[in-house]
Amino acid sequence: MGLIHENVWVEGIPLQKLLTLEIVHKPNEHGRAALTAAGEIPVLKRFMERETDRLIAIKAREQNQEVVLFRGYITQIRVDTNGGYGELAAELADSSYLLDVRRQNKTYQNLAKSYGEILNDAYNGTGKVVVNVSDQPIGAFILQMDETNWEFSQRMASRFNVPIFSSLVAEKPLVSFGVPQGKKAIELSTAAIRYLADNGRFREVTENDMTAGHTATAQDFSGLQADSYDYAYLGDKVCVNGKEYYVRTIHAKLIDGLMHMSYELTGRQGFVAPLVRNNHCAGRVLTAQVKAVKRDTIQAFFFQIDPAYDSSSTTWFPYSTAYSSSDGSGWYVMPEVGDFVRILCPSNHEEEAFAASAVNTSPPASTRNKSFRAPGGKELLLTDDGISMICNHQNIFIDLSQDNGIGIVSSQPVHISSDKCVQIEAEEKVQITADKQILLQCGNSHVKLTEKQITFGGESVIVGE
């Protein structure tokens, strides 16, 4: 028999009479409803001003059973007045619309987590995702960048070449990752049928390997456009003339007191979705803090976008250097734990992100000075005047100065050794001074100078020759 006008009503809007109603639903889109209704002008105006954020339900009675046709929130509303008569026009979106309002940034670095787990993490209790494909670990770094959770869900589902499906009747956002499962086939009585074949789509899907491991045939992309008075939901399995199909699109409309449904029906593979890339991350440079270092890779905390570091992270970012050859030569310096580095995303493949160039949080006062410093305080300092090699500030260092020459200072012994010869030469003088003792030795011969005496030793000592 179908749904008649008198058995359809709206909960949540103070209307006197429902005038028109239209419901549309497609994969990768929120379910939408548009209605007009008559009511008292003061009541409608007060509702428009104060209560449009409430959950609205469109229901019907069929065979003595209450059926929910649509639940959602008002996105647009208008009240027209004509004398004492008021007419409300409203557009609504199902509850999944709440996932498509606020753009978010977040990283996912535990590569063992599944796609279902990271999406439910992203929803953070505001909704739920049900994965209807063979879920698997993410396997590589994922960056949610300037995406709503709805957009993020679409992109993750596209990695399996499937769309997402919102629930048209859920009170909280409920998203199906792939065609919803577990419903019995509905016997669809039809008033008119048009047979469709999307050969172009079939070629695109099969030639670009977009079937997520399933076998697709041309029949999967041959479907029906069926008009009916029976109400079904997106993804439902239906039987028409003894054959099974799935509901791919819904267009329901009140016409002449009856709810007319127009469905596009297809085979299971007719829901294939193309891969979506992360275009928001391409060319981005993010600052992160180093949490661990291993060989030429680091683990990073994206403190600008993540509220806290996930200690279960298994993502290691390669660290780029200015120059390094395959044999290990070059100039390669790894950052230390706690340092700040830049993470670069060179393309819309976030898994290609790499670390480069540490950020100096305490730069020197003079930007002309160039410093190469290790964590233990060892430093090579280049200034306008010269070069300093510092082992321990104020205690062990070598200064090479344009004005003062070379200075060697050490609080520990200084040892000079050569297998062949050490030559000291000066045009003016060589000066050796010591507070306690100077010892010159060659084999068994020696000269020892102390504060009070000079001692010579050797097989023969010749003085004054």
Do 103 and 148 form a contact (C-beta atoms < 8 A)? yes
pLDDT for position 330: 64
How confident is the model at residue 210, as a pLDDT? 64
Residues pairing with 379 in the sheet = 373, 390
| Backbone torsions φ then ψ of 373, nearest 5 degrees | -130, 140
For residues 340 and 34, what is the distance between their CA atoms, to the nearest angstrom? 52
User: Reduced to 3 states, what is the DSSP secondary structure of residue 207?
Assistant: helix
- CA 73 – CA 97 distance, rounded (Å): 8
Q: What is the pLDDT of residues 132-180, one digit of tens each?
A: 988 999 999 999 999 999 999 999 999 998 999 999 999 999 999 989 8
Q: In this structure, what DSSP letter does residue 200 have?
A: H
Q: What DSSP assignment string belongs to 422-437?
A: -----SS------SSE
Question: What pLDDT is recorded for position 95?
Answer: 97
Residue among 197, 109, 143 at smallest CA distance from 347:
143
Are 298 and 355 within 8 A, CB to CB?
Answer: yes
- For 337, the token pair is 């734990």
In the prediction, which pLDDT does 203 show? 81
Contact, 318 vs 299, CB < 8 A?
Answer: no
Rounded-to-integer distance, Cα 374 and Cα 89, Å: 69
Check residue 395 and give its pLDDT. 85
pLDDT given at position 342: 95
List, run by run, the mean pLDDT of 10-residue segments along the chain (465 residues): 85 93 97 96 90 91 91 95 88 97 96 97 95 94 97 95 95 94 77 80 73 64 86 90 89 93 87 88 94 94 95 94 64 85 94 87 72 78 87 86 88 89 89 89 88 86 74
CA-closest candidate to residue 69, choices 223, 237, 254, 217: 254
Residue 5 backbone phi and psi in degrees, to 5: -55, -45
Backbone angles phi, psi at 215, to 5 degrees: -95, 125
Separation between Cα atoms, residue 391 and residue 25, nearest integer Å: 71
Count, in order, helices (H) and strands (E) of the chain.
4, 32
What the chain holds in terms of domains, given with CATH numbers, is 5-96 (2.40.10)
Angle (CA) 55-60-63 rounded to 5° is: 150
Facing residues of 445 across strands?
A: 442
Cβ-based neighbours of 44, under 8 Å, separated by 6 or more: 14, 15, 79, 86, 88
